[in-house]
Structure 1
Amino acid sequence: MSVRYLIVDDEAPSRANLRLALAAHPDWLLLAECDGAAAARAALADNEVDVIFLDIQMPIESGLVLAREISRLRTPPLIVFVTAYSEHAVDAFEVHALDYLLKPLSDARLAQAVERIGAMLGQRQREAYGAALRDYVDAGITQAAQRLERINVRSVGRIEQIRVDDILWVESAGNYVELQLDGRTVLHRITLNRLEALLEPSDFLRVHRSAIVRRSQIARLETIGDGSYRLTLRCGAEVAVSERYLGALKAAM
């Protein structure tokens, strides 16, 4: 399957680096290199595009302006955001299941993005992707600290929207978290610490280095045989509680 793509970046060296890196993928066809959003709009009007590598920080018009326009399309091309933002600032990309590349470009990270794109295109998930992209641009990249309403979870080639209001508690699983819902568990690629920063503190409470619970789910706290603590939730789940978070939990109760 041929993948048709655009590179949109105001810096010529960055465009060249990405073009040369993608040359290793013979099925990928470069349609145009664009130095800004205006040139990208012209290329989009003249071509059927599968993927756009889009720089965010451009002098005349931010890449987010173009992304907002693209998100309104019924079947938008996939966007891989190219950014010099720090790791902390890309939380919003991950929670909305959007791909990104940090400058300077990593070959391993690009290969991962190429693999994900192939899976998404193969599953024909453009409409679901469009919904995730709209969530991101409507909220705005600077609003990560505001109340999060949905988490877009990406599995192999698919995106599923999870309402934050449906999450009962969250458990750490390495670089992933397990979102515990009513009757099922959903695995999402983000660390617990980074997800905690996005969740509303009035709704969720950290009780252990590996667990966050919904406050309204808190039911019973008890000491178990070895002197440690266990929290029982209204859904029936039992969650370990560490000394570090014990005071805040007792206050919440």
Structure 2
Amino acid sequence: MPVRYLIVDDEEPGRANLRLALAGQPGWTLAAECDSAAAARAALAAGDVDLLFLDIQMPSESGLVLAREISRLREPPLIVFVTAYSSHAVDAFEVHALDYLLKPLDDARLAHTIERTEAMLRHRQREAYGAALRHYVESADGGYVDRVNVRSVGRIEQVLVADILWIGAAGNYAELHLAARTVLHRITLNRLEGLLDPARFLRVHRGAIVRRDQIAALETVGDGSWRLTLRCGAQVSVSERYINQLKAAL
């Protein structure tokens, strides 16, 4: 499908790497290369753009400033954030279902980004993406998240943290257990834990985080291990590592 994109990076090698990597991508057209947020604004005003590859760390003006402006549009262009590795930044991108590339550029990661971008545009998800982007830039200065944006097959669904009863680990995914269903989100439990308010959520096992107000009863089982019963009826294993803080919470 046709995709018009901008590359926004103050460093010429960064722009060149992306330009060359995308040069043979069928249907993808480079609208402009920009060395600043100001140049990107001019390019956006000059014509329709589907996607920005946006460097965050730019000296004159952070890419987040431009992203905040773009997020106010009803159907903003998609943004792929380009950044040097920062674990907290990457965690925030993932919990908001936003795409990112780490410097130096990885071909496999770029191919995955291309696939996700085309799926989002094919499903006409700009409005839902805009909501996820707005929430990201509003919380980019730090703090705990109050919603999780879950992506599946080119779509984004917003899940309020207040609706999550407990969270289980499933490999590189987190199972968000709600009152009537379970939602699978591509983020590890360790990464998600760092974005949740510890006053509201408690880790009880390497594979489980529970909402504190869901804690109902703790008991030992036959083999001497511990089991937690939640108010919603779910039963969760508790590991020795977390038993003392759980007892304190009770």
TM-score tier after normalising by the smaller chain length: over 0.9
Q: Is the 8 A contact 2:98 2:133 kept in 1?
A: yes
Partner of 2:175: 178
The sequence identity of aligned pairs, in percent, is 76
User: CA separation in 2, counterparts of 1:49 and 1:124?
Assistant: 14
Q: CA-to-partner distance for each residue in 1:76-112, whole Å, 9 max, x for gaps? A: 0000000013234311111111000000000000000
Aligned to 2:218: 221
Q: CA deviation at 1:197?
A: 0.8
Q: TM-score, normalised by structure 1?
A: 0.97
Q: What residue is the counterpart of 1:48 in the other structure?
A: 48
8 Å CA contact retained: 2:8, 2:15: yes
Counterpart AA for 1:37: A
Structure 1 Cα separation of the partners of residues 66 and 44 of structure 2: 11
* Structure 2 unaligned spans of 5+: none
1:231 has 2:223 as partner: no
Q: How far apart are 1:139 and its partner, in Å?
A: 1.3
Alignment of 1:188-227 (within 5 A): 188-227=185-224
- 1:31 aligns to 2:31 (yes or no): yes
Contact 2:139 2:145 survives alignment (8 Å): no
Residue pairs, 1:92-241, within 5 angstroms: 92-140=92-140, 142-143=141-142, 146-241=143-238
Among 239, 242, 245, the alignment partner of 1:245 is: 242
CA shift, 1:222, in A, is: 1.0
SS at match of 1:59: coil
Counterpart CA distance in 2 for 1:239 and 1:26 is: 48
Cα drift, residue 24 of structure 1:
2.6
Number of matched pairs: 250
Q: What secondary structure sits across from 1:198 in the alignment? A: coil
**Aligned AA (1:168):** L
User: In the TM superposition, what is the alpha-carbon distance from 1:59 to its structure 2 partner?
Assistant: 1.0
Q: Which residue of 1 aligns with 2:22?
A: 22
Moved over 6 A (4+): none
Note the alpha carbon deviations across 1:88-139, whole angstroms, 9 max, x for none.
4311111111000000000000000000001000000000000000001111
Q: Quick one: which amino acid aligns to residue 56 of structure 2?
A: I
Q: AA paired with 1:59?
A: P
2:54 aligned partner, one-letter code: L
